[in-house]
Amino acid sequence: MNVNTPVDHALLSLLVQRSNDFIGAANTNGEVYFLNPAALHMVGLPDLEKAQGLQVKDFFMPAYHEKLENEVFPTVQKQGYWIGELAFRHFETGQPIPVMYQIFTLNDPVTSEITGYATASHNLTAYKQSEEKYRFVTDAMPQLVWTTDEKGYHDFFNQQWVDFTGYTVADSLGTEMWNNLLHPDDQDRAAQVWQHSLATGEPYEIEYRFKRVSDGMWRWFLARALPMRDDLGRIYRWFGTCTDINELYSMREQLKTSYADLEAKVQFRTLALEKEVNVLKEKLANK
């Protein structure tokens, strides 16, 4: 597409004006000269005139000003762009607006000299609210809850996990940390079953032991995980839980022992009866 034609410029202008994302531009001094309607609405400005002349950093919560000066702006100057989570400031209420902020340079097509800066940033408020609800629900569950990406990288644990294991979420992220926390006798078996599920997409189910940080006790858990698939059937996440079954496991083992004892007693009694029958047969045969 040739963006130098009037038709293309009109199309691009229409896309910018109707976009729901925060789209804006500033000169090399950081003074804002353009915001689309969505941007004005997002930060509570009535019109473009109120925005023109403001500095880029005026749109952010004060807590992020140092990050902007020491990281964001220098990175843009060096590599031409920066992307990350920050928070805009609503000019009327002063409330933070979480955004995925993307800023990049505008360059002269001939000299490549920086002529200004532009941003196309996405409002994360709805996502953050959904994330908070998800966290609230999973933290209210009695199980240890976890999720991974399609390759098995653990990227979420609920509060029950932290309370039981004593490890923070940050310390537990990755592909191996969870397995290292298992009882040594369970680690190889658990790793094999998990790798099988990752390779085949089959539901994950296994019993293993975690150590409780409060008293150092190894407790049995039933771990289950199901794959989450997109419209094409491709796995993009795994959702898993670990349910404490220690009492149930102990009862089951006791029943196994009792059953084994009973079976041995029955077998012994059967042999004794057979012996008595044989003795009786011999007596009858000798009469």
pLDDT band at 15 (very low <50, low <70, confident <90, very high): confident
65 shares its domain with 158: no
Q: How many residues does the chain have?
A: 287
So what's the pLDDT on residue 253? 77
pLDDT band at 282 (very low <50, low <70, confident <90, very high): low
Least confident of 38-42, 106-110, 225-229: 106-110
Q: Is residue 38 included in any domain, yes or no?
A: yes
110 shares its domain with 190: no
Summarised one tens digit per residue, pLDDT across range 98-148 is 999 999 999 998 999 999 999 999 999 998 888 888 889 999 999 999 999
Q: Which residue has the higher pLDDT, 8 or 51?
A: 51
- The gap between the terminal CA atoms of the chain, to the nearest Å, is 114
Q: Is residue 100 included in any domain, yes or no?
A: yes
Q: Is residue 135 included in any domain, yes or no?
A: yes
So what's the pLDDT on residue 266? 60
The whole domain housing 94 covers 6-123
CA distance 51 to 59: 9
Q: Is residue 281 included in any domain, yes or no?
A: no
pLDDT band at 3 (very low <50, low <70, confident <90, very high): very low
Task: Give SS3 for 54.
Answer: coil
Among residues 83, 99, 123, the one where a domain terminates is 123
Q: Is residue 214 included in any domain, yes or no?
A: yes
Give the tokens for residue 94.
């002063």
DSSP assignment of 2-46: -TTSHHHHHHHHHHHHH-SSEEEEE-TTSBEEEE-HHHHHHHT-S
Rounded to an integer, the average pLDDT of 56-79 is 95
Number of domains within the chain: 2
Give the tokens for residue 109.
């097509």
CA distance 255 to 234: 42
105 shares its domain with 136: no
pTM of the shown model: 0.59
Q: Residue 106 maps to which CATH number?
A: 3.30.450.20
